[in-house]
Homo-oligomer: A and B are copies of this chain.
Amino acid sequence: MAAQGGARVAVVGAGIRGSMFARAIQQNPTAELVALVEPAESTRTRVAQQLQIPVYADVAELLERHPDLTGAVIATPDPTHRAPAVACAEAGLHLLVEKPLATTGEDAEAITAAVERAGVQAVVGFENRWNERFAEVRRQLASKEHGRVVHQVSNLNDTVFVPTEMLSWAGTSSPAWFLMPHTLDLTMWLSDAVPVEVFARGVQRVLPALGVPTWDTVTASFLMSDGSVVVLNSSWVLPTSMPSVFDFRHEVHTDTTSYQIEISPSGVTRYDAERGSWLQFGVHERSGRLRGVPIDMVDDFVDLLNGADLDLPDVRHGLTVTRSIEAVHASLASGRPEPINA
C-alpha cells in the first residue's frame, strides 16, 4: 500500500522488533516499506519471503539501491546502533532509533553529531511515551494542578529468561542498559527535568554463574535538575514463574498527589493447568492489523516523515539518557556519585 509521495522507509535489523516495525510501516497507509537490512542470511531469506520486499545484507547496499528513501528505523542489537544510524543520517534519512540511542557515550555522540550535521531528525524509541497511562500522568503534571514532583521510584525488572534465553548479547549489556533507558526517560518526561548526578549499586553473582557476565541487579539514585529525587531499580534475575516476563511499577509523588502506575498487570489473569499469567496486549493484532504502543510510535514517525510537527524524544534527549546510563556504570565501578553532563 505505497503512499504516493509519502514516507519511504527502510528498517535496519529484522529481529523481533525490526520485523514488527516493518509490519507497522506496511500497514500505515501513508508510508511505504521499501526494504530491510539484516546480516544473518537465514533470517534475511525468511523475512524477504514473508514481507515480499528486498532484504539486504548491509546498509551500504540499501542506500545505494534506494536513493529515494526518506526514513530509516534502526533496530539492530543495542550496542550496534552507531554504524547504521550514522550511515543513514549521512544519507539524509530521518531516523527512528530503538532505545537506548547507544550503549556508550562515544557512540551516542557520534550519532548525534551525524544527525545534526545532516540536519535530519532522529526520534529515539522511548515507546512508553505512547502508553496512554504515562501520557495522561504527564498531561496532568504538566498542567501544574497536581503539584511539583518530589520523588519518583521506578521498578522495571525482567525475569531471568530475558538475559539467559531471549537476548544473545546480554553479556555485553546489563539491566541498566536494557531497562533503565525506559524508566529514566519517563522520569525526565514526567518531571520535565534532567539528571544531574547518579549513585548506583549492583550485584553480580547469579548471571555470571549462569554464564552471562553482567549485573544481576542495579539500583540507581538520581538527583534531578529540579531538586527532585529519582530511584530506578532494574533486575534481570526475577523468577520465570512471575505472571509476566517484565515487572514494571512506577510511582510519582508530588506535593499533593501520588500516582501509582502498574504496567505489567493487564486486567486479565489466566490460571491454566500449569501457571498463572497476565495476558499481555502491548502489541496485539485486530482485524489483521497490529496495534499497540510501538505501532503508535511508528505511526508518529511516519507522520513526522510526512511533515507533521510532533513533540517526540529527539537525539539530544537520547544522548542525555545514554550519558546517564553510562554514569550509572561509572558509579557502579567507582563506588561514588558521578556527575552527568547532560
Which A residues contact B (CB, under 8 angstroms)? Answer: 132-133, 135-137, 140, 146, 150-151, 153, 155, 199, 201-203, 205-206, 216-217, 219, 221, 223, 227-229, 231, 233, 235, 237-243, 253, 255-263, 265-276, 279, 281, 284, 286-287, 291, 296, 300, 310, 335-337
Within 8 Å CB of A261, what residues of B? 267-268
Considering the chains assembled together, what is the distance between the CA atoms of A310 and B136 in angstroms?
A: 32
Contact: A201 with B229, CB < 8 Å? Answer: yes
Contact: B257 with A273, CB < 8 Å? Answer: yes
Considering the chains assembled together, what is the distance between the CA atoms of A235 and B205 in angstroms?
A: 31
Contact of A219 among B231, B265, B270 (CB under 8 A): B231
Within 8 Å CB of A202, what residues of B? 229
Number of copies: 4
- What would be 21 A-B contacts, judged by CB atoms less than 8 Å apart? A132-B281, A135-B286, A137-B270, A146-B270, A150-B205, A150-B217, A151-B216, A153-B233, A199-B201, A199-B337, A201-B229, A219-B229, A219-B231, A240-B273, A241-B273, A241-B274, A257-B270, A257-B273, A259-B269, A267-B267, A336-B337
Contact: B268 with A253, CB < 8 Å? Answer: no
Contact: B275 with A275, CB < 8 Å? Answer: yes
Contact: A269 with B273, CB < 8 Å? Answer: no
- CB nearest to A308 among chain B residues: B287
Given contacts A229-B217, A281-B132, contact A150 B206 (CB under 8 A): yes
Chain B min CB distance to A290 (Å): 12
Chain B min CB distance to A254 (Å): 9
Contact: B219 with A242, CB < 8 Å? Answer: no
Chain B min CB distance to A54 (Å): 30
- CB nearest to A299 among chain B residues: B287
Within 8 Å CB of A265, what residues of B? 267
Within 8 Å CB of A296, what residues of B? 286
Contact: B276 with A217, CB < 8 Å? Answer: no
Contact of A239 among B262, B263, B273 (CB under 8 A): B273
Contact: B150 with A153, CB < 8 Å? Answer: no
Considering the chains assembled together, what is the distance between the CA atoms of A271 and B159 in angstroms?
A: 11
The 10 tightest CB contacts between A and B, nearest first, are A257-B272, A239-B271, A260-B269, A258-B271, A241-B271, A199-B199, A133-B268, A201-B229, A132-B281, A151-B217
Considering the chains assembled together, what is the distance between the CA atoms of A202 and B227 in angstroms?
A: 9
Considering the chains assembled together, what is the distance between the CA atoms of A135 and B267 in angstroms?
A: 13
Contact of A242 among B258, B335, B337 (CB under 8 A): B258
Chain B min CB distance to A7 (Å): 16
